[in-house]
Structure 1
């Protein structure tokens, strides 16, 4: 679909992860629906935030039950029931929809070698300690990578995203800082080193100050590049960076 839209309408599309609708309760008593984490208002105006929860039912062979329980726990799940029918187990979990809607099904099929079945139904909206985490590349926020995360897991998630982006973004002629931040506080950072030309290659012998002068000139040029340079983020980076390794 993306290729056809780009070909027929000549537009550049960015494929991002699916999101869920949150309920924002403002301090003036108003309730708003938040569809995109990038539209999150200033926290000073927000009283609390509620996220959708689901009741998930998973049927799985007993051999893979441990892996399924770990996967659900990693996604902030609360176990409600566990029963057995022969060699198969039926486990019921209360899970945040935000943790399920993206890659939960793929992970479930992976850890059970395709033998698990998964069904869920919406239950309620529930208040939790969620915050908006945004990613900055070369000090510029990337709205497509903004996500809502639980505050207790924000640092771990931010560090993982920065490490993935460091591997996915190609190197440029200038150094690129990749940061994860909550509000004005940076919680994780990686630095993508610059491509460097050996400007001293033609200097054979002579005074060392000449080499030093060339290196200082190169350093000043890269500093200007970083101020005005544009970082190209590959399409696959937007989805890959958001995937969680559970």
Structure 2
């Protein structure tokens, strides 16, 4: 399968409804979907339908007005992609008060490519959250670790994470050393598609370079394959991209979140 085929599958299956799931508070407006989560707002779309210039500026202003006036979110994210048109979308968002976050690479590949054995040193345990332990405690410790790596404030809460698990399409995985969570990530199967995403993968700095992140990727990929998933996708940083590329995933586009804050 070519990169173009992978990108087409990504656009067709994962954008719009594929990014908001069953969350309450979704409003369709032109080509956009406006969604409200407990940790903020989110804007998704398949494409912008050829909007440009003053028409696009008006759509951006309408989006800001909705989240500012009709919701209580402190911030919302407009998730752009590198192949989106028009090419000056990012500049227009910045001109309307958005701030660009670091660009990430969208990686896609066959789930089976990641489901391989990864040797680990003794004392490292990789398991699904709640497996042989208290689920709430696992989730609480995972989110605290991820907050220390990514920064706190915009991630999901413990309660929303537990609620996501109830639907059965999300799994949380962690790696521990001597009972300490040192690496964690999420597997999110997207109903009605061939995809599952691996998200939030993070490792404490002092435990990097030991293959722990790669082992966590493998554990999630194996679970995805067992659930009939064909493709794994991930928005990855420059740090995790080489690991996923060595596993056979391919870069198909980039994504830059633009965030508006009250």
Q: With a CA cutoff of 8 Å and minimum separation of 6, indicate the structure with the bigger relative contact order.
A: 2
Structure whose residues are more often strand by fraction: 1
Query: What is the TM-score normalised by the length of structure 1?
Result: 0.26
- The TM-score, its normalising length taken from structure 2, stands at 0.25
Q: Which has the larger radius of gyration?
A: 1
